[in-house]
Structure 1
Amino acid sequence: MSIAERIMTRHSELDNPLKHLFRAVSIGLVLTLSAQASATAESTDTAYEPVAPTVDQARANILIARQLQFTHFRDMGINDDLSSDVFDAYLDYLDGQHIYLTQEDINQFSAVRDSLGSALKTGQLQPGFDIYNLVQQRIIERLNFAINVIESGIDKLDFETDEQILVDRSEADWEADAAALDNLWIKRIKNAVLAQRLNGSDDEEITKALLRRYEGQLKRTRQARSEDAFQAYMNAFAGMWDPHTSYFSPRTSENFNINMSLSLEGIGAVLQSDNEYTKVVRLVPGGPASKQGQLQPADRIVSVRQEDKEEAVNVIGWRLDEVVDLIRGPKQSTVTLEVIPSDAADETVTKTIAIKRDEVKLEEQSASSDVIELDRSGKTFRIGVITIPTFYADFKAMQDGDPNYKSTTRDVRNLINDLKQEGIDGIVMDVRNNGGGALHEANDLVGLFIEEGPTVQIRNSNNDVKVLEDQDPSVTYDGPLVVLVNRMSASASEIFAGAIQDYGRGLVVGSQTFGKGTVQAVRPLNHGQLKITQSKFYRVSGGSTQHKGVIPDIEIPSRVDKTRIGEDALDHALPWDQIEAVPHERYFDFSGVIDELRVRHDERFAEHPEFRLLQKEIDFLKQQREKTTVSLNLVEREAYQSQVERARLTIANARREIRGEEPFDTLEQLDDWQDMQAADVDSTDDDLDFIIEEGGNIMADMLELDQRMASILTPKQITAQARSH
């Protein structure tokens, strides 16, 4: 039986409402293949069984549609315009790099582009499943084509031509037909071969590695389940409202609940699907990956190897829950991840990271403190530094009535009191890389620095506004304050930093924060769960933390690529907007000193060797990211890789010179040293973080420029002077 006949038989049994369209697509599928791909498709005809929707999924679809229309924060109906957007998002989810489908395929589906909305309203899932089945069939054809090319001998590939390949094809046009796609895939294979040759692998090793990769992906594709299609389709649909609204299948719901309870023994990383890859969203503070230090947000996982296995398992194309299961494992065992770094020039650049699994312990997420001393013109300033990795609370101990239960606010209050006993002149609060946590802890933490007053506003989809307040008039610390933030400071961190800024209680220093200003609720369905955005955060000054985040008073550039990480980098993110401010005190007006503070900061950083090096790294990473193509010519590629390696080695050795350490002679020495450092999770870097040092220097500037803060006045005194300023 031919592909078209088999698919049509299956769909006639399902009473497919799009059978005429699907017949055209299926016949087109056969007719447009090259002879080689056609033969391959025939040989795998029985390998893929098209998946079909279930009654439970149809019911869940109807419930999801109702929830999205009537309870989501964004007021949006389901219409023809939405249908087209869902269509594009669904194809992007299934083939985000435009490497499986052709323009001919897209044209054949044009009839359903404008009708998906009405079908989704009423639980008619077949159109989405038809698209899914065709994409899986196309993936099988492409993978078989790649396997045939590799088995024919990679030594036959030509690396002397002046060819280029796009690094990112997400915005590229679809290839016209199967023949054009064949040419693209030959380029992709050449790119993969080149990358591995330049990493020192011989052709036999490369052949085995690529065959293992493509055959593994082929196996997973053939095992596609109805739930895979449904989850992909529902997430494309739900993602129209905002990127944090998503559907969890029953299996994914189980993993979500495990992660929320922090009882998972694993690496301490939050993962999500990103087309064919599993991507790192964030690291759990105090978790194994965070302490190991090499894994970073936006890294994409290529393979996973257990400590008792010689070969890694390629996980490209795997379901998220299966990747999570593979990474999860016994405490103290080691898992090795091969990842495409977030700053890699293209997807052929990978590195391996070994992480020892462990539980994420609450005490390892706890706030901590230190004291730094800065000499200025004969005077020594003692600056307290409090680092807060996350906003935490031991809810169980709290419910059990334990008077000594741990929480962010309780711990920070104790640390502040200890620092005051040590005679500090000011405090730097470090919430860099703090992805949020317990909202009430952010509210209570603000209360340590102000008298009673509002801390954050929360508006729901009915435009009802709830104001959270600090109702405790006591102030734990009334002296000079700096808050350090970066792009990975999100949610509760942004609420805290924004409130400190709005109250004029301290200066915010660093880079623009993430911009996560929405609140989600998880709602059960008859089949799985729906995580849906229901509210939005607003600062006491009225501006939302959504999309824009918190803009620092003094900015320090970051290595993080804001076009890839942050709320404004996400599709369909809710916009920034503003509501009415709520009455609040203004403790200090920095307008009289901020310009001078910025001038001093700029002058200091211009001469600081660590900052100059940071700027070099940022420029280097920017050049890498701006490179849209890579050469498939061996000589050109070797020259480019040598240039990149020299830049990496130069930057690493410049940092070692600053620290008085011997330089590395080769890149291999650098890589070996980094692996050794990462493997020692108990090692600490005694060198002062120069950004913390700069926070202290800005504090010292504040003390020098304004004696009102040098004497650590009470909030009421500061308020009175600020008003007269």
Structure 2
Amino acid sequence: MHKALKYILDMKRLPIILALVLAGVFFATRSQGKTNSLPPGKYEKILQIVGAILTQGHYEPKDINDEFSKKIFDKYLADLDPEKNIFLQQDLKTLERFQTKIDDEVKGAPVQFFIEAGKVFDSRIKEAEAYYKEILAKPFDFSKDETYNGDGEKKSFPASEDARKEEWRKYLKYLTVQRYADLLDSRESNKGKEGAITKSDAELEKEAREKVQTVMTRTFDRYHNKFTEEDKFNVFVNSITEMMDPHTEFMPPLDKRYFDESMSGKFYGIGAQLTYEEGNIKIASVLPGGPAQKSGQVDAGDIIVRVAQNEQETPVELSGFTVQDAVKLIRGKKDSQVKLTLRKKDGTLKTLLLKRDEIVQDEAYVRSAVVNEGSQKIGYIYLPEFYADFQEMNGVRSGMDVAKEVNKLKAEGIDGIVIDLRNNGGGALYDVIQIAGLFIDQGPVVQVRDRQGKPQVMRDRDEGVLYDGPLVIMVNEMSASASEILAAAMQDYGRGVVIGSTSTYGKGTVQRTIGLDPESNFSNT
């Protein structure tokens, strides 16, 4: 279900006019940690609101008609089964009756397509699970030349069960041979080293299959335990929103909270770093001063078996969860309680109740250093993202933090400043305006145009310049959005030199967040 939607723009002239679009719908569809289906009618209400927002608020809305419906039909099935080894062609024929009805569902008709498609998907997943266990139980013959096509867009869904099983055999062989080749390279590099154990080809082939078996077990555990009807609905709505443009996204409340946390650099949790190991969510380390450390009952190496939001709520088993999924469950509101069931290193189970507290992720904040190059002192500013705390009036803002770092560097008597925006995917528009204003004396920074074509000039209104010395902006192919705005402004004003890759990410859109239902934490960007 991962989608790579990238496009590159020539760095010679970065875009200065941006189109205003809606980048997603944050909609609260369930209570944290619960897996019960939504009440009848809720899906219809959500789709109607999403459809209205896309139609009335998107910069370039597409007509939601039968042709749009057909595209959503194909996209949703491809998002569920990108490798095209789950569904059969007969399944598409069975579901074909919905091909021109999805637009009606968006407009208020009973929601049926994703539910029926989900039932078929769940049934086929059980069959595929049996395939991988049977296939990986036997050695592969690597002496036989075979071809596997891993591009789902260039192949069709299997016509029969035998064809699907053969597709799985080739897929699993492809995954196994990758790991087998790595093991062969490792054996070769370790040859002759003291203590090195030399394994036979057969032993390495078996080890490679076991590695693939572990990956497949994790994947299918996730399908069984995490990929609920509501998760399928989220994929379905994203199929609709992303058809408008690649940056339009639907988020349920946990994802919305996670987004806010990443933007602000802080969250309310237990103060522990998690890792995934052999199908388990494990405590990698305990942060000093956090709730976990203060309890004296949480240790590195503990496995988190279950999570509940308080003393009364039914716990959620973490089998099949990724680290990100587990993190979303464990984090919550300040002073709220979370109940963890841990498997200690001696195998015993321990259940404890922790009160969440503020944890700051300062690694996401701006940092600076002075680099001595001969007789010159160069100030280096690393800005991983244009972060901003939208929840608190006096919360952290990257614009203010960059100004503080510039002042620190000036106090060191630096001869120039380098701002590193490599891999910076963007962030808060307000803050990039403030940062640009540190180096120019008033003036337009970027222009945002709405769907009526009316431009809004976003300008630096502060008089004066904080730093007027030599300036360099570093970028690469993953510098996007706000990073491109800052680089373009410095370039257009002749204020700084842009160095790095010949092109950046090329994201020419700006997103905004719109609240839908404050009582239920509904919001839309």
Identity of aligned residues (%): 33
Is the aligned partner of 1:228 residue 2:231? yes
Q: Is the 8 A contact 1:383 1:428 kept in 2?
A: yes
Q: 1:143 aligns with which of 126, 129, 144?
A: 129
**2:419 aligned partner, one-letter code:** M
**1:56 aligned partner, one-letter code:** K
Listed one character per residue, the Cα deviations across residues 51-73 of structure 1 (whole Å, up to 9, x for unaligned) are: 89831122212111111111122
Q: 1:493 aligns with which of 471, 480, 483?
A: 483
SS at match of 2:152: coil
Q: Is the 8 A contact 1:268 1:360 kept in 2?
A: no
Alignment partners' CA distance in 1, 2:39 and 2:60: 28
Listed one character per residue, the Cα deviations across residues 500-522 of structure 1 (whole Å, up to 9, x for unaligned) are: 11112122111222233321314
Alignment: residue pair count: 406
Structure 1 window deviating more from structure 2 (490-499 vs 196-205): it is: 196-205
- How far is 1:163 from its partner? 1.2
Q: Is the 8 A contact 1:57 1:527 kept in 2?
A: no
The corresponding residue for 1:621 is none
Cα 1:135–1:222, aligned 2, differ >3 Å: closer, same or farther? same
Listed one character per residue, the Cα deviations across residues 304-345 of structure 1 (whole Å, up to 9, x for unaligned) are: xx833599xxx9976897354589799xxxxxxxxxxxxxxx
The corresponding residue for 1:78 is 64
Alignment partners' CA distance in 2, 1:260 and 1:134: 38
Alignment partners' CA distance in 1, 2:57 and 2:138: 55
Q: Is the 8 A contact 1:372 1:382 kept in 2?
A: yes
The corresponding residue for 2:169 is 186
SS at match of 1:239: helix
Q: Is the 8 A contact 1:246 1:530 kept in 2?
A: no
Cα 1:504–1:316, aligned 2, differ >3 Å: closer, same or farther? farther
Q: Is the 8 A contact 1:367 1:408 kept in 2?
A: no
Alignment partners' CA distance in 1, 2:76 and 2:236: 6
Is the aligned partner of 1:117 residue 2:109? no
Q: Is the 8 A contact 1:436 1:492 kept in 2?
A: yes
Q: 1:129 aligns with which of 115, 120, 131?
A: 115
Q: Greater helix percent: which structure?
A: 1
Cα 1:122–1:527, aligned 2, differ >3 Å: closer, same or farther? farther
What TM-score does the superposition give when structure 1 sets the normalisation length? 0.49
Is the aligned partner of 1:160 residue 2:143? yes
Q: 1:470 aligns with which of 460, 466, 473?
A: 460
Listed one character per residue, the Cα deviations across residues 527-546 of structure 1 (whole Å, up to 9, x for unaligned) are: 774543xxxxxxxxxxxxxx
Cα 1:52–1:434, aligned 2, differ >3 Å: closer, same or farther? closer
Q: 1:451 aligns with which of 441, 444, 450?
A: 441
Cα 1:82–1:396, aligned 2, differ >3 Å: closer, same or farther? closer
- How far is 1:212 from its partner? 5.2
Q: Is the 8 A contact 2:446 2:458 kept in 1?
A: yes
Q: Greater strand percent: which structure?
A: 2
Q: Is the 8 A contact 2:263 2:388 kept in 1?
A: no
Q: Is the 8 A contact 1:435 1:492 kept in 2?
A: yes
Q: 2:384 aligns with which of 389, 393, 407?
A: 389
- How far is 1:90 from its partner? 0.2
Listed one character per residue, the Cα deviations across residues 185-205 of structure 1 (whole Å, up to 9, x for unaligned) are: 112232344344453765766
Listed one character per residue, the Cα deviations across residues 72-94 of structure 1 (whole Å, up to 9, x for unaligned) are: 22222201221111112101210
Is the aligned partner of 1:99 residue 2:85? yes
- How far is 1:409 from its partner? 4.1
Listed one character per residue, the Cα deviations across residues 358-417 of structure 1 (whole Å, up to 9, x for unaligned) are: 94434861331313325xxxxx55433333333345778864xxxxx8654444445445
Listed one character per residue, the Cα deviations across residues 279-325 of structure 1 (whole Å, up to 9, x for unaligned) are: xxxxxxxxx9xxxxxxxxxxxxxxxxx833599xxx99768973545
- How far is 1:431 from its partner? 2.0
Q: Superposed, which structure 2 residues align to 1:492-641 within 5 Å?
A: 492-511=482-501, 512-516=503-507, 517-525=509-517, 529=522, 531-532=524-525
Alignment partners' CA distance in 2, 1:396 and 1:193: 47
- How far is 1:182 from its partner? 1.2
Cα 1:146–1:485, aligned 2, differ >3 Å: closer, same or farther? same
**1:521 aligned partner, one-letter code:** T
Q: Superposed, which structure 2 residues align to 1:369-380 within 5 Å?
A: 369-374=369-374, 380=375
The corresponding residue for 2:242 is 239
Structure 1 window deviating more from structure 2 (473-482 vs 522-531): it is: 522-531
Cα 1:393–1:136, aligned 2, differ >3 Å: closer, same or farther? closer
Cα 1:237–1:530, aligned 2, differ >3 Å: closer, same or farther? farther
Q: 1:173 aligns with which of 146, 156, 178?
A: 156
Is the aligned partner of 1:67 residue 2:53? yes
The corresponding residue for 2:417 is 427
Alignment partners' CA distance in 2, 1:508 and 1:319: 38
Gaps of 5+ in 2: 1-35, 184-198, 275-286, 288-299, 306-317, 333-337, 339-357
SS at match of 1:263: strand
Q: Is the 8 A contact 1:454 1:469 kept in 2?
A: yes
Alignment partners' CA distance in 1, 2:173 and 2:85: 15
Cα 1:316–1:465, aligned 2, differ >3 Å: closer, same or farther? farther
The corresponding residue for 1:37 is none
The corresponding residue for 2:20 is none
Alignment partners' CA distance in 1, 2:426 and 2:434: 14
Cα 1:54–1:504, aligned 2, differ >3 Å: closer, same or farther? same
Listed one character per residue, the Cα deviations across residues 76-115 of structure 1 (whole Å, up to 9, x for unaligned) are: 2201221111112101210011111233333443343233
**Over alpha carbons, which structure has the higher Rg?**
1
The corresponding residue for 2:451 is 461
Listed one character per residue, the Cα deviations across residues 676-711 of structure 1 (whole Å, up to 9, x for unaligned) are: xxxxxxxxxxxxxxxxxxxxxxxxxxxxxxxxxxxx
**1:154 aligned partner, one-letter code:** K
What TM-score does the superposition give when structure 2 sets the normalisation length? 0.66
Cα 1:491–1:115, aligned 2, differ >3 Å: closer, same or farther? same
Alignment partners' CA distance in 1, 2:127 and 2:513: 41
SS at match of 1:478: coil
Alignment partners' CA distance in 2, 1:165 and 1:228: 30
**2:436 aligned partner, one-letter code:** V
Alignment partners' CA distance in 1, 2:106 and 2:455: 32
Aligned Cα root-mean-square deviation (Å): 3.9
